[in-house]
Structure 1
Amino acid sequence: MEEYYFLFFLAFVWMIFAAICDFKTREIPNWGNFSLIAVALAYRAFYSISKNETMFFVYGLIGTLFFIGFGFLFYYGRAFAGGDAKLLMALGAVLPFESYTDYFFIGLGFIFILFMVGALYSLIYSTFLIRGKKGFAKTFEKKIGNKKLLVYGFLIAGIFAGIWFFYSADVFFGFYLFILGLMPLFYFYAKTVDEMCMIKLTQPGDLREGDWIVRDIKTGKGVIKNRVDGLSKNEIQLLKKIGKKVLIRDGLPFAISFLMAFMVFVFLFLRYGFSFLPVF
């Protein structure tokens, strides 16, 4: 287990840097994410050679490829921005894979922790965003619309099932069911926050490469498409030239969620070793 301590320390340093950049500029530098992959794999290669443990490097390399797949999945699914997706890819070189089954337990286990921590962080962060926003409750209710039975049915079922399994000693499964019951409610809450707090009219001079536009933009003879990879440098230059304000979808500074999720993961790993992973 000691061979992972340096990798954990490395990831903590990189993620602290990423979180600071994300809060300040809403961007995570590409060189930061790619250098984490390079340094982590270089350490694995050096350790593998010095200790004659080839699989330590191989598992890290496969882990990187495995998480690159997840990164693309979440990026093109618009769950993560580009910097967040690349940070996830980089963590594939860091996580303690020691067998092929670990890609399922550790990989999905970490992603589960990340989404749980991310959901809690987003909920807390969004409460500050909606303060003073008139009509939030009305918009939230409108978003739910005729799906109240589904939303509140899931919520009540999740609460009762969670309590049942909690008292039957299957605490983890009870917790999962409770979280599952909250999902529809959280989905409509997130949609309302997105509509009321995350969409803003932006001057062309304030646009950044990769910004997500809300809808297609007509520019006289052409159209700038609402693409998953966001605005390009040339498109930003064109918008500056015609002086057109743009509705963009801003995101939360999410890198801090990676740091907090990794702290939870490392605590569980150091406390319980690999034995805690099958609960995921």
Structure 2
Amino acid sequence: MQEYYFLFILAFIFTTAAVIQDLKSREVANWINFSFIAFALAYRAFYAIQISQIKFFALGIAGFVIFFALAHLLYYSKAFAGGDAKLLMGYGIILPYQNYSSLPIFTITFILLLFTIGALYSLVYSAFIAAKNKEKFKKEFYILFKKYKLISIILLLLSLATIKFTTLSLFFALLFLILIIYIYTKSVDSCMIILTPPSKLTEGDWLISDVKISKSKTIRKTVHGLSSNDIKLLRKSKRKILIKTGIPFTPAFLLALILMVSFFLTSAVSPEQIFSSLFSQLFFLS
């Protein structure tokens, strides 16, 4: 397992750099992610040649391909920004696969770990956003709760009325909780829509709606966000526009990496057993 220590160190260095930049400027430069991917693949290639086992390199390529597909899926579904998606590709290379059959085990477990930590982190972060924009959050929450008030009351009453039937009562309670979480999330989202001057725009910023610059030119809202050319046009027009900001997700990668590596360093069992243990704990927590 020592052959993976260098990959873990690489991941820690580049993820830390990504976190710092993400928190400062709300973007992750391509050079950070591409350097991470290049160094990780180069190490696997060099080590594979040194030990005369091409499988060590092939497993890294296979992991990269799987995470490349996952990253694109998350990017186009707007779950991840571009920087997060590219960082995820790098993690496909550094996971300690032992054989081809372990690829799905490590992939599924790491994604579950990442999203569990990400959900907890996002919940805490969103609470700070709600507190920072208290009045706006309260106003939006009240509007949405009023809109779904009748459904909320019905679900709550059904949960109480079926309390003797545990499964059914829990089902209605869960639906009620999901509705409240939806209202909370939409209320937080409203706090993340910011009127931004052109000078502070960055590539990848998400428009709330299409922006008409002139009679013949309109900047379209796309999954890719603003391009450098879009920003130039907006700066020429000197118009402030509404931008949807997101929660910086790179800290979740760093926390997931630290938790994963701590398992490897403190456990004497195989990687598959470690990830199975992580999976069991995540399932229990959920």
With structure 2 as the length reference, what TM-score do the two structures score? 0.82
Are 1:242 and 2:216 an aligned pair?
no
Task: Please state how far the C-alpha of 1:6 moved relative to its aligned partner.
Answer: 1.0
Q: Tell me, what secondary structure is at the counterpart of 1:209?
A: coil
| Equivalence for 2:210 | 216
Task: Please state how far the C-alpha of 1:143 moved relative to its aligned partner.
Answer: 3.5
Q: Tell me, what secondary structure is at the counterpart of 1:32?
A: helix
In structure 2, the CA distance between the partners of 1:276 and 1:182, relative to structure 1 (3 Å rule), is: farther
| Equivalence for 1:78 | 78
What letter matches 2:223 in structure 1? V
Q: Tell me, what secondary structure is at the counterpart of 1:93?
A: helix
Task: Please state how far the C-alpha of 1:2 moved relative to its aligned partner.
Answer: 1.5
CA separation in 2, counterparts of 1:209 and 1:115? Answer: 25
Task: Please state how far the C-alpha of 1:141 moved relative to its aligned partner.
Answer: 5.3
CA contact (8 A) 1:67 1:89 kept: yes
What letter matches 2:235 in structure 1? K
Task: Please state how far the C-alpha of 1:263 moved relative to its aligned partner.
Answer: 1.2
CA contact (8 A) 2:48 2:54 kept: yes
Task: Please state how far the C-alpha of 1:99 moved relative to its aligned partner.
Answer: 2.5
CA separation in 2, counterparts of 1:10 and 1:151? Answer: 49
CA separation in 2, counterparts of 1:219 and 1:120? Answer: 40
In structure 2, the CA distance between the partners of 1:217 and 1:88, relative to structure 1 (3 Å rule), is: same
Are 1:252 and 2:276 an aligned pair?
no
Task: Please state how far the C-alpha of 1:184 moved relative to its aligned partner.
Answer: 5.4
| Equivalence for 1:175 | none
| Equivalence for 2:26 | 26
* Match runs of 1:1-280 below 5 Å: 1-131=1-131, 132-134=133-135, 136-137=137-138, 139-140=140-141, 142-143=143-144, 145-146=147-148, 147-148=151-152, 185-195=180-190, 197-221=191-215, 222-270=217-265, 271=267, 272=269, 273-278=271-276, 279=279
Identity across the alignment (%): 44
CA contact (8 A) 1:209 1:232 kept: yes
| Runs (5+) with no aligned partner, structure 2 | 281-286
CA contact (8 A) 2:196 2:240 kept: yes
CA separation in 1, counterparts of 2:124 and 2:189? Answer: 14
Task: Please state how far the C-alpha of 1:209 moved relative to its aligned partner.
Answer: 1.4
Task: Please state how far the C-alpha of 1:98 moved relative to its aligned partner.
Answer: 2.1
CA contact (8 A) 2:105 2:272 kept: no
Greater gyration radius: 2
In structure 2, the CA distance between the partners of 1:258 and 1:238, relative to structure 1 (3 Å rule), is: same
CA separation in 2, counterparts of 1:74 and 1:87? Answer: 12
Task: Please state how far the C-alpha of 1:183 moved relative to its aligned partner.
Answer: 5.7
CA contact (8 A) 1:151 1:185 kept: no
In structure 2, the CA distance between the partners of 1:205 and 1:181, relative to structure 1 (3 Å rule), is: same
Q: Deviations over 1:192-227 (max 9, x none)?
A: 2111x2100011111111110001111222221110
Structure 1 range deviating more: 27-36 or 265-274: 265-274
Q: How many residues are paired up? A: 261
Q: Tell me, what secondary structure is at the counterpart of 1:130?
A: helix
Q: Deviations over 1:87-108 (max 9, x none)?
A: 0011111111222332222112
| Equivalence for 1:168 | none
With structure 1 as the length reference, what TM-score do the two structures score? 0.83
In structure 2, the CA distance between the partners of 1:204 and 1:135, relative to structure 1 (3 Å rule), is: closer
Q: Deviations over 1:116-148 (max 9, x none)?
A: 111111111122211151253453354364353
In structure 2, the CA distance between the partners of 1:61 and 1:128, relative to structure 1 (3 Å rule), is: same
In structure 2, the CA distance between the partners of 1:210 and 1:261, relative to structure 1 (3 Å rule), is: same
What letter matches 2:152 in structure 1? K
